Chains A and B, each alone.
Chain A
Amino acid sequence: MKKLINSVDSVVTDALRGIAAAHPSLRVDIENKVVFRADAPRPGKVGLVSGGGSGHEPLHGGFVGHGMLDAACPGEVFTSPVPDQLIEATKGVDGGAGVLHIVKNYTGDVLNFEMAAELSGDEGVEVATVLVNDDVAVQDSLFTAGRRGTGATLFVEKIAGALAETGAPLAEVARVAREVNERSRSFGVALTPCTVPAAGKPTFELSDTEIELGIGIHGEPGRTRAPLREAREIVRVAMDAIDADLPLSGETLVMVNGMGGTPLIELYIVFAEVEAYLRDKGATAVRSLVGNYVTSLDMQGFSVTTCSLTGELTRLWDAPVETPALRWGR
């Protein structure tokens, strides 16, 4: 394993020190592992808190700032944050209008956020929760852990963050966050596994001629293994899965997301195929993001996330945002 680290045990803390040093618009509580907006809490504004395992950068710390999150809690690599962290963040962003927890649907994240919400409630902070579960590779069923939260998390954080910035009440911010999730779908593909620092070796083995279809964002293998094909063919598998679940139509927000180790030139090749697929279905990619946003350490591959837009959602997407990883309009 080759990694730019000082030690396996200090990966998260050392990265937080870097984030603090690089971004004066953030206040980083290194002891409690919380990345705050420097001006949090904002009186009268709903606070947005997200969090999850580390290894998905820039998610979530890179999305803290004006028009998006008020605080992010990084856990250990691929491990959800602990309740203490989340409570610290929740109290630290509460400006009296309540706090929205944005939670990716994984058992660990759900349990730790639930405990934090309950304990923050005991301390007088009103908390609402939105679960993100956009990954169509996983069958949703009462008898499973349900779908994973992946790329749509960014859409939820951006759009709900924009609404919160206007002074909208907690119930409204939560409603729009849920609407974004319901209108979003994702599918991921891996060309290589990734290497978790504490494990020291790749999470699975894949030959030069194979890919994994239907991966999540934790280096886990996907639903199936398949031979490597042209980008066009791989995109078709991903988009067919999305379209079968929620037929693509109308104005669509599209993200082609790298898993951390994919060259941008390949992501643009993928985007061209995604755009053509949408056009074929009568849908239009009216807003787009291409880059590494919701990653899985050093994995090569991509995920595609679509969100069927409404006028309101497009306006909120276009609203100004100023965070380390996403900024426009200001």
Chain B
Amino acid sequence: MNTQFFAAWIEEIAAAVRAQRDHLTQLDAAIGDADHGANLDRGFTAAQEALAGASPQTPGALLVLVGSTLIRKVGGASGPLYGTAFREMGKAFGEAAEISPAELSTGLNAALSGVQRLGAAAEGDKTMVDALAPAAKALAQAVQDGLKPEEALEAAAAAAEQGARATVPLQARKGRASYLGPRSVGHEDPGAASTALLFGALKAAASR
């Protein structure tokens, strides 16, 4: 997976977020403040513009730039959290020009640690971690099992999707949905849903 692959990933994310903008906003309206779709759309549009302007030369530099742009443009909790995820992944990749599935797995774990350090959320708190952590685990397992890259990304995407859906019965303990207490039960977490979109886009980039 080279720089071009990660640029394609960001393109796929931007397209998916735009297509799902209203859906994400509706999920957020139910248990948050109805801005998640609009915020991520603004952030990933800005990230694409930043990439077009700077043409980073390595996957690591590309992801750090995407992360910094999200922190600068998105606001809310999702800006710093997603921004940190991309920056940590980018930093884990270092100067490498080509990223193996094993390195991607390392990068994803770094992203997860960064998000958890900043947001202090654990699995089961009904946040993006509920999609991110299973995806990281699934990718690590796939790498260990020696699956082909496309199969590994497929497994990660499926785990993220399943993790997001599994937030429906949970009561939120972090983020704005936590203010609803027991009334947050019965809704999919918007952050977990958008994280699942990111992994769907990763799979889509691989099958280009």
Contacts and interface: CB of A to CB of B under 8 A. Distances in A.
Task: Tell me if chain B binds chain A.
Answer: yes
B39 A76 contact: yes
A80 B76 contact: yes
A75 B173 contact: no
Contacts of A203: 29, 33-34
Contacts of A83: 71-72, 80
Nearest to A193: B29
Given A144-B174, A145-B178, A82 B33 contact: no
B25 interface: yes
A156 B26 CA distance: 34
B74 A111 contact: no
Given A107-B174, A111-B118, A223-B181, A76 B33 contact: no
Interface stretch (A15-23, A212-220, A285-293): A212-220
A198 B32 contact: no
A10 interface: no
A127 B43 CA distance: 28
Contact of B71 (A78, A79, A115, A219): A115
Chain A CB within 10 Å, residue with most, of B33, B39, B71:
B33
Contacts of B26: 199
Given A148-B179, A203-B34, A220-B179, A79 B174 contact: no
Contacts of B74: 79, 82
Contacts of A268: none
Interface in B115-129: 118-119
A196 B34 contact: yes
Given A112-B75, A144-B174, A145-B174, A221 B34 contact: no
Contacts of A76: 35, 38-39, 42, 75
Contacts of A77: 35
Given A76-B35, A76-B75, A220 B176 contact: yes
Contacts of B119: 107, 111
Contacts of A107: 77, 119, 174-176
Contacts of B174: 107, 144-145
A108 B72 contact: no
A251 to B, nearest CB: 31
Contacts of B80: 83, 108, 111-112, 115
Contacts of B31: 220
A107 to B, nearest CB: 4
Secondary structure at chain A's binding surface: helix, strand, loop or mixed? loop
A29 interface: no
Contact of A223 (B73, B77, B183): B183
Interface string A78-115: 11111110000000000000000000001110011001
B90 interface: no
A204 B32 CA distance: 10
Nearest to A146: B178
B66 to A, nearest CB: 15
A310 interface: no
Nearest to A8: B38
B200 interface: no
A198 B175 contact: no
15 contacts: A53-B33, A53-B75, A79-B74, A81-B75, A82-B71, A82-B79, A83-B72, A107-B174, A108-B77, A137-B179, A144-B174, A145-B174, A145-B176, A199-B35, A220-B176
Interface of B: 25-26, 29-35, 38-39, 42, 71-81, 118-119, 173-176, 178-181, 183
Interface of A: 53, 75-84, 106-108, 111-112, 115, 137-139, 143-145, 148, 196, 198-199, 201, 203-204, 216, 218-221, 223-224
